[in-house]
């Protein structure tokens, strides 16, 4: 594969620009927290309440405790990209063929 430095730089620029994604307020449809259902339909469905906290992610909603919304979002973007790269690099090396 030829030099893809430009693409890595592009990822870095995108990481720095991610706070633009914070400008839009509100949740995506169907991604509300369980409490929101009290206002929307008047009750929190039992099963939804039971399983909504099945797992607590360490950096929920791309926030990092001790940092601000914007800096936490940027740190989340870069650490998330790094984790995705590590995962796809490892899995990719296993599930591709070597034709050097």
* Positions that interact with other proteins (CB under 8 A): 1-2, 4, 6-8, 10-11, 14-15, 17-18, 20-31, 34, 37, 41, 43, 45-62, 73, 76-77, 79-85, 87-89, 91-93, 95-100
Q: Kindly report the backbone phi and psi dihedral angles of residue 21, in degrees, each rounded to the nearest multiple of 5, phi listed first.
A: -70, -10
Tokens representing 54 are: 């099945």
Residue 29 or 65 with smaller CB distance to other proteins: 29
Min separation Cβ 81 and other proteins, Å: 4
Min separation Cβ 86 and other proteins, Å: 8
Min separation Cβ 39 and other proteins, Å: 12
Tokens representing 22 are: 């914070």
Selection from 56, 53, 37 nearest residue 45 by Cα: 37
Count CB-CB contacts under 10 A for residue 77.
20
Min separation Cβ 38 and other proteins, Å: 12
Residue 21 or 68 with smaller CB distance to other proteins: 21
Check if the beta carbon of residue 19 is closer than 8 Å to that of residue 70. Answer: yes
């Amino acid at each position: 594969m030829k030099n893809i430095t430009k693409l890595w730089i592009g990822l870095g620029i995108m990481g720095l620009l991610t706070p633009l994604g914070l400008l839009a307020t509100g949740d995506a449809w169907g991604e509300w927290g369980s409490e929101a259902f009290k206002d929307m339909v008047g009750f929190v469905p039992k099963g939804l309440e039971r399983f909504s906290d099945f797992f607590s992610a360490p950096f929920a909603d791309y926030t990092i405790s001790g940092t601000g919304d914007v800096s936490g979002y940027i740190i989340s973007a870069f650490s998330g990209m790094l984790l995705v790269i590590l995962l796809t690099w490892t899995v990719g090396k296993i599930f591709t063929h070597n034709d050097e």
